[in-house]
């Protein structure tokens, strides 16, 4: 019915060393390493995050614009009476019929027009 801790002796052997205070050994001593570890890890994390952000920004700036296609547009013809530029005629590659410049499909055979 009794706990075993009640049966243990309560006398503590006396030691010649004074007890250590929780505040530290001396006022001028360096802080313990266990107190500095979280701050050091946090500082390294902040530096790594800043470095990563800087690298992402630099990589986005250095992205080269895609090269233009080698296909050249046909030269536009100017109308002499109005001075306006007229688009070159478009022909179907399948049946050869003429199509409007805004057409995507041939009106005669239904083939997709090459632009």
Judging by beta carbons within 10 Å of its beta carbon (0-12, 13-18, 19+), is residue 14 exposed, middle or buried?
exposed
Calpha distance 101→87 (Å, rounded): 7
Calpha distance 62→56 (Å, rounded): 10
Q: Per residue in 55-100, pLDDT tens?
A: 999 888 876 556 666 665 555 555 556 555 666 788 898 998 988 8
pLDDT at 1: 66
pLDDT at 89: 80
pLDDT at 46: 97
**Tally of CB atoms within 10 A around 106:** 20
Give the global pTM. 0.31
Element (H, E) at 25: none
- Higher-confidence residue of 14 and 44: namely 44
Calpha distance 113→105 (Å, rounded): 5
Residue 45 pLDDT exceeds 90: yes
Calpha distance 44→39 (Å, rounded): 9
Q: Could you tell me the two tokens for 5?
A: 């801790």
Q: Which range, of 22-31, 87-96, 98-107, averages the lowest pLDDT? A: 22-31
pLDDT at 5: 73
- Given a contact cutoff of 8 angstroms between Cβ atoms, the answer to whether 88 and 104 are in contact is no
């Amino acid at each position: 019915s009794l706990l075993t801790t009640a049966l243990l002796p309560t006398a503590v052997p006396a030691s010649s060393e004074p007890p250590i205070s929780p505040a530290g050994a001396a006022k001028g001593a360096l802080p313990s390493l266990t107190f500095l570890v979280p701050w050091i890890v946090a500082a390294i994390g902040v530096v790594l995050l800043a470095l990563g952000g800087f690298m992402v920004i630099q990589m986005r700036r250095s992205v080269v614009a895609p090269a233009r296609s080698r296909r050249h547009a046909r030269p536009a013809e100017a109308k002499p009476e109005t001075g306006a530029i007229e688009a070159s005629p478009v022909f179907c590659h399948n049946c050869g019929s003429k199509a409007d410049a805004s057409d995507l499909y041939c009106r005669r055979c239904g083939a997709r027009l090459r632009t």
